Structure 1
Amino acid sequence: MSDAVTALSPSAVPVVPVAPAAAVGSGRQRTALLMLLCFAVAFALGLQQWSAVQIGGFDLSIFDQGIRGYAHFGLPISEVKSYHHEFPPGFSLLGDHFSPVLALLAPLYWLWNDPRTLMLGQALLFALGVPLVRRIAVRTFAASDARTVRRAADLAGLVYALGWPLLAAARGGFHEVGFAVPLTLLMFERGMARRYGTVALAALLICCTKEDMGLMVGAYGLVLALRSRRGHDGRGLGYGLGLLIAGPVVSVAAITWLIPAMGGQPGYYWNYGQLGPDAGSAVRNVLGDPTLLLHSAFSTTIKPLLVLWLFGTLLALPLRSATALCALPLLAERILSDNPNHWSIAHHYDAFLWPIMLTATLEVLGRLHAQERTRRTARRLGVTVAAFSLLAAVPLGLGSLLVPGDWQPKSSAAAMVRAAALIPDGASVEADNQIVPRLTSRTDAVLVDGTPRGRDYVLIRPEVRTFPFLSAQQQADRVQLLLAHGYQQIWAEDGAVLLHRVGTQPIPGAHIPGPDSKPVQDIVPKDVGRNLFSG
């Protein structure tokens, strides 16, 4: 068998049962420093976006309201989500995405009742990945000398801590990916150590992070089974086959049963119209004409550019490790999707892939370094990959921390902050997407969107297009509509307008979601999905 075929073989990376104790123990101080660096950078980026009033209620306020519900020993209910997407009253976020693991963050709200709590929690979770990445590096370079192992662990920890996918996620405020990153690394590292009980526990928690993550768990089960079979590890083979079956079963159960049981709508997030109107039709259509997958994957230029960026920044090294198969379900979800928001690297989606891609890269580099004839190549590739990754981190978030202007809000955003201070505690509010996170902890706030809600206060920017409006003119029209139907302008400055309801006359088009409400999807503006580096 040729070297190329061997490299692509699922069993090419052996399971390493034990890491050198000296290499692990001697780096505790460096591990702590890298953890601190990871936490500080991630938290600082979140605070920077908060300070600049760039973090939207979609999605920070949704998680804020939901996890605050957990903190009060209730269901994760978010009016920001349910009002905007017309879900019935009392709709639980478990009916949106199956993410019960988020309840683990509830105790943080007992200490600090603020949306920034979630930024803090996500930064801590990202930092927990540092020692896991370092241990993975130690295991994958176990055949090398102690000095090389130490350097590999240090460099891997640094590349992970400043990885551009983590920076992009941190700039977005908070998402379930905060849990997915360290849990995925834990599953991989414990798999290498043949600690299969912990592997199963990590896999279970991953499945509780988001309903589609069971597909990734199933892919890892396949990799584990194939490697264990070649290594004559019967126990590993059994666990691998178990994950291969259980992971997808959990995903299917969550999508078809658990989410609808919590009030969700089956197929609500089906974004694959090019393949078929639903999952069953898509499978039949693809089996009948497999070229549909190619047509969908190449339906726009940005999709192949996304793949080239993800693998190119790592010199395509992950493709030589079977671990990269774990990225296939998550990447396919985005590439085949009709939703342009899934194609950019400006959001949090790549953070789900980061632990997979980095682990696969370390496996390949460790294997190359173990062979005398490829040792020098491995060193050069490792340094180049680290340089590319760290350079990419500078324009994608790291560099902005050093720019004072990036910490300051634009004039209209700063005006909204001043206007928000005029809204009394406990008031019902419709507010601009960017200011909603500053109101959810003390008011009954929802997003100002295409449907008037008749609330006490409305804070809006009629001159700047903001989510979910398709144009600034729609926002200006909303102001005029409300002024003509019982609202009074009580504050206006730098493009921000605060309205207060003083009349009782009906507002044309006003609607509050009721028990029979049918969920709706957002209309994505035409200019979204054209740039790989912007949302």
Structure 2
Amino acid sequence: MVPRQNRLSRVTTAKEGSQLPDTAPAQAGTVRGARTLAVLLGTAAFLLYMLYSWLQWTSFAIRSWDLGIFTQLAKAYSQFQAPIVSIKGQGYNLLGDHFHPILVVLGPIYRVFPSAFTLLVVQNFLFAASVVVISHLAIRRLGRLPGACVGAAYAVSWGLQSAVDSQFHEIAFAVPFLAFALCSLMEEKWRSAWIWAALLVFVKEDMGLTVLVFGLLMAHRSRRPAGLWLSAWGVAWFVLATKVILPSMNAGHQWAYQSQLDISGLLAHPGTLLFQADKVATTLLLLAITAGLCLFSPITLLVVPTLAWRFLGELPAYWGQDWQYSAVLMPVVFCAAIDALSRRKVLDSARLRLLSGAAVALVALTLLSQYSFGKLADPALSFPTVNNVSAEKALAAVPAGVTVETDISLMSYVADKDQVYWIGNKNPAPEYVLMDVSGRPGVPDNTTASEAQGRFPGSRFVTVYADGHFQVAKAVTG
């Protein structure tokens, strides 16, 4: 029988937090193991994203004009200038388009690595950082194998795939901010959660509404008023951005995207908010990528603000799974799934966690070939380089430091060295015009030059490069 004094001393020691000598190293090893595995998953994700971006870049597979736009922004910030983006129009201040002051951090990065491709590297790094954060949480909460399955599934989730494929957008910063904020919320690190969530308002104006919901979730979990202050912060910045800052910097003196919210159409036909094929598919796929587990956590409510403005929008591109619009939803639904598996008693069992992790991974594997990364199965077919020589010669025909009007085909490649205008706007007469004519077989070599003269009366253009794919015309005097 152990003497009472000895028993009391042992209890006292335990209360003071001392552990047996072999326990602390074991726990420390578990933490280090989770962190190492999470970093490995993030590194693998970064390499995968970079492979895809590199194949896009080297095959001149440009998705839209956005990479060129943000390249001009980064270039302006690198020179300590306002983000005047001529691709959007003469003298167009991009801070009047969307409210994204966080992008100022691109300036010093671009100054060291002055290339549009740098922006793709930055975005891929930010996405990969979110993979590390979410994987680390999943492994710690669910165990090594199921956690790794969830982390890997997140890394190749269709929202991130589409964002990588769409190339750079400001939401690249929102993805890791949300990941850090949600993981801090689930770990009850309230100050950290508050700070990361608060930063979202500087990524894009609509994120203020996401911060509103995040603050309410935080207030509910923490039972502290800080969450309500966070909600107020989000609403205040949403109103300030859309009613004051954006209109003051926009040429039309308004929030440029307010007209795309079809409120009157919704009131006339309320069923259109959800009951359209693309909207239904997007909603179902958000549930599917976590095998429905996200439904068991209130964290899923964070998808509502983003889905609301997208589904209210009149542009069909907002409704589906393409482009970058769903990237910010990926950290939400995956953290919700982790939260459900680790907090609710009905789901909290080792066997169910393993089966759930396997189910999430299986869904990710099934969907993998249906989205952008499926192209990696046959890079030669998906990223052909047959026209690379033509593109390189066309680019070589345009010197540095000139003004260029162009379509989106090679826009991002000339934005680094020249002042670029998009042909769809009313622009001042440029020094060069570069056009992709591959969709117009048989056109004469002087087509781009003659069309430029028609757009700019009084100017004269001559062809300096032409083949079956690209034509370059130069303005001449006399």
After TM superposition, the score normalised by the length of structure 1 is 0.76
Match of 1:61 in 2: 68
* Distance in 1, Cα, partners of 2:365 & 2:389: 32
Secondary structure at 2:462's aligned position in 1?
strand
Which of 160, 182, 185 aligns to 1:191? It is 185
Deviation at 1:443, TM superposition (A): 1.4
Match of 2:466 in 1: 492
Give per-residue Cα distances to partners, 1:290-334, cap 9 Å, x unaligned.
x74423433x42221221222223332212210010010001111
Q: Is the 8 A contact 2:403 2:432 kept in 1?
A: yes
Change (3 A) 1:24 1:262: farther
* Distance in 2, Cα, partners of 1:408 & 1:216: 40
Secondary structure at 1:488's aligned position in 2?
strand
Change (3 A) 1:95 1:255: same
* Distance in 1, Cα, partners of 2:412 & 2:205: 25
Match of 1:96 in 2: 97
* Distance in 1, Cα, partners of 2:225 & 2:347: 35
Match of 1:435 in 2: 410
Which of 365, 368, 372 aligns to 1:390? It is 365
1:57-136 equivalences in 2 (<5 Å): 58-83=65-90, 89=91, 91-136=92-137
Match of 1:309 in 2: 285
Which of 376, 388, 393 aligns to 1:401? It is 376
> Whose helix proportion is higher, 1 or 2?
2
Superposition misfits of 4+ residues, deviation over 6 angstroms: none
Change (3 A) 1:112 1:372: closer
Q: Percent identity over the alignment? A: 27
Change (3 A) 1:462 1:483: farther
Deviation at 1:139, TM superposition (A): 5.6
* Distance in 1, Cα, partners of 2:129 & 2:347: 34
Which of 160, 165, 169 aligns to 1:175? It is 169
Q: Which amino acid aligns with 1:481?
A: E
Between stretches 320-329 and 256-265, larger displacement belongs to 256-265
Give per-residue Cα distances to partners, 1:11-35, cap 9 Å, x unaligned.
xxxxxxxxx7554222333222212
1:283-432 equivalences in 2 (<5 Å): 292-298=269-275, 300-367=276-343, 371=346, 376-405=351-380, 406-409=382-385, 411=387, 415-432=390-407
* Distance in 2, Cα, partners of 1:161 & 1:42: 9
* Distance in 2, Cα, partners of 1:139 & 1:363: 12
RMSD after superposition: 2.7
Q: Which amino acid aligns with 1:338?
A: E
Match of 2:154 in 1: 160
Q: Is the 8 A contact 1:57 1:437 kept in 2?
A: no
Q: Is the 8 A contact 2:75 2:111 kept in 1?
A: no
Match of 2:452 in 1: 482
* Distance in 2, Cα, partners of 1:378 & 1:152: 6
* Distance in 2, Cα, partners of 1:112 & 1:400: 28
Q: Is the 8 A contact 1:218 1:243 kept in 2?
A: yes
* Distance in 2, Cα, partners of 1:330 & 1:382: 26
Change (3 A) 1:427 1:167: same
Q: Is the 8 A contact 1:53 1:434 kept in 2?
A: yes
Q: Which amino acid aligns with 2:39?
A: A
Between stretches 342-351 and 385-394, larger displacement belongs to 385-394
Between stretches 199-208 and 114-123, larger displacement belongs to 199-208
Secondary structure at 2:184's aligned position in 1?
helix
Secondary structure at 1:348's aligned position in 2?
coil
Q: Which amino acid aligns with 2:170?
A: E
Q: Which amino acid aligns with 1:492?
A: A
Give per-residue Cα distances to partners, 1:78-101, cap 9 Å, x unaligned.
111234xxxxx2x32222111111
Which of 248, 263, 277 aligns to 1:275? It is 263
Which of 52, 55, 59 aligns to 1:45? It is 52
Q: Is the 8 A contact 1:462 1:479 kept in 2?
A: no
* Distance in 2, Cα, partners of 1:190 & 1:78: 37
Q: Is the 8 A contact 1:46 1:172 kept in 2?
A: no
Deviation at 1:495, TM superposition (A): 3.1
Change (3 A) 1:273 1:205: closer
Between stretches 347-356 and 106-115, larger displacement belongs to 106-115
Between stretches 241-250 and 451-460, larger displacement belongs to 451-460
Deviation at 1:57, TM superposition (A): 5.6
* Distance in 2, Cα, partners of 1:424 & 1:343: 41
Q: Which amino acid aligns with 1:335?
A: F
After TM superposition, the score normalised by the length of structure 2 is 0.85
Q: Is the 8 A contact 2:110 2:118 kept in 1?
A: yes
Q: Which amino acid aligns with 2:127?
A: F
Secondary structure at 2:365's aligned position in 1?
helix
Deviation at 1:110, TM superposition (A): 2.8
Give per-residue Cα distances to partners, 1:324-382, cap 9 Å, x unaligned.
100100011111210122123221111110000111111222246x5589654443232
Deviation at 1:463, TM superposition (A): 4.6
Q: Is the 8 A contact 1:297 1:336 kept in 2?
A: no
Q: Is the 8 A contact 2:161 2:373 kept in 1?
A: yes
* Distance in 1, Cα, partners of 2:124 & 2:333: 20
Change (3 A) 1:154 1:314: closer
* Distance in 2, Cα, partners of 1:134 & 1:495: 45
* Distance in 2, Cα, partners of 1:135 & 1:74: 39
Matched, 1:212 2:206: yes
* Distance in 2, Cα, partners of 1:181 & 1:102: 14
* Distance in 2, Cα, partners of 1:74 & 1:273: 32
Q: Which amino acid aligns with 2:465?
A: W
1:10-29 equivalences in 2 (<5 Å): 22-29=29-36
Secondary structure at 1:76's aligned position in 2?
coil
Unaligned residue ranges in structure 2 (runs of 5+): 1-26
* Distance in 2, Cα, partners of 1:295 & 1:139: 41
Q: Is the 8 A contact 1:23 1:138 kept in 2?
A: no
Matched, 1:262 2:249: yes
Matched, 1:253 2:240: yes
Deviation at 1:409, TM superposition (A): 3.7
Q: Larger Cα Rg: Structure 1 or Structure 2?
A: 2
Q: Is the 8 A contact 2:147 2:357 kept in 1?
A: no
Deviation at 1:481, TM superposition (A): 3.1
* Distance in 2, Cα, partners of 1:357 & 1:414: 44
Give per-residue Cα distances to partners, 1:50-72, cap 9 Å, x unaligned.
11212256200111111121112
Q: Which amino acid aligns with 1:262?
A: M
Q: Is the 8 A contact 1:416 1:459 kept in 2?
A: no
Q: Which amino acid aligns with 2:451?
A: L
Q: Is the 8 A contact 2:55 2:379 kept in 1?
A: no
Secondary structure at 1:445's aligned position in 2?
strand
